[in-house]
Amino acid sequence: MNPLRLLKRKLGDKVRAIAQAEARAAVSAAMPLMQRIADFATSPPEQRQSAHDLTKNPRANAALYQELRVGLEATGVPVQEYSIDAAEFATWLKDHPEMEEHNRALGDVRVEKSLEHYLSHSVLRPQPGQTYIDVAASKSPYASHLRARGIEAYRLDLSFPPGRHGFDLGVDATSTGLPDGFAHCMALHCALECFAGDADIRFFAEAARLLKPGGKCVIVPLYVGETHSVTSSPYCQDGATPETADPEGIFLWRDDQYHVPFSRCYSPESFALRIHAALPAGVSASVRFADNLVELMDIHAGMRMYCFFQYVVEKHA
């Protein structure tokens, strides 16, 4: 056989062998994800988030949120009922146009996302010269705009490169490595629910360590529902499973457009036992309940607003 033809055949055989090996490896790696998608496809409706999620129609579920407020109080969690000042919120939106711009692509929750920041701001009232941490901030511009107002504001997120890079902190929120008493105030906006395993419990110990005396941390929204649940998108290969979900709750497949590997919703009873009763010494906390979100949705027509609950933790002075 022609030596050149023989060489081409050997090269072809080697390339085919490499391609076949890579194809087998790719199929093997994809099998767990394919199994998750298959499990989701055959799951009954009651094992899907949409059967339990109150946030998809908060207006219709307003009475149920009131019942959950009563349920929290019955467990011994202090609840403070208040009304959102619609006029002050409108002024805040005008003063923070960067947040509306950042949230513009979020459809019917774009006002909700600005409202979450307004509510944390209305509790924390960060002042020039103070230190603020936006925990699990991802790409939010909020910290940079606080800095423009004289506040030493940091963004913290595991998605950042490890370590401290200017005002971006690529660290675990439950073990930051920052000094004791580093911050005057901290906030989590639509974030605590994504703290998998016992990270939600451990976070409060770290927050208590990081806060200065008299400092506060705000969780908004606090997701409370009728049942304690852990949800996971079937399209996340490393997402939660029925075996890794919280033992006190149920596992649900996430059937919306968000490919989130883990999210949690507390029942009043599970929140009282898992979080409130387990707070570290030296802090106190209460839930704030907004009683006029329906009226605010009337003002902002077509918008969903579901931050009925906030959790405010304060370090003793």
This prediction's pTM? 0.90
| Tokens 């490393």, residue located | 238
Tell me the pLDDT band of 32, cut-offs 50, 70 and 90.
Answer: confident
pLDDT at 88 over 90: yes
Give the DSSP per-residue string, 7-29. Answer: HHHHHHHHHHHHHHHHHHHHHHH
Q: According to the 3-state scheme, what is the secondary structure of 55-111?
A: HHCCCCCHHHHHHHHHHHHHCCCCEEEECCCHHHHHHHHHHCHHHHHHCHHHHHHHH
Residue 58: Cβ-neighbour burial (10 angstroms; 0-12, 13-18, 19+): buried
Give the torsion sign (CA, 174, 177, 183, 187).
negative
Query: 3-state DSSP call for residue 112?
Result: helix
- 170-211 pLDDT, tens digit per residue, is 999 999 999 999 999 999 999 999 999 999 999 999 999 999
pLDDT at 27 over 90: no
Is residue 162 a contact partner of residue 139, using CB atoms and an 8 Å limit? no
- 48-86 pLDDT, tens digit per residue, is 999 999 999 999 999 999 999 999 999 999 999 999 999
Is residue 147 a contact partner of residue 167, using CB atoms and an 8 Å limit? yes
Query: 3-state DSSP call for residue 254?
Result: coil
Structure tokens at 85: 């000042």
Specify the pairing of strand 211-220 against strand 229-232: unpaired
Specify the pairing of strand 250-253 against strand 229-232: parallel
d(CA 7, CA 118): 70
Structure tokens at 112: 């909700």
Tell me the pLDDT band of 100, cut-offs 50, 70 and 90.
Answer: confident
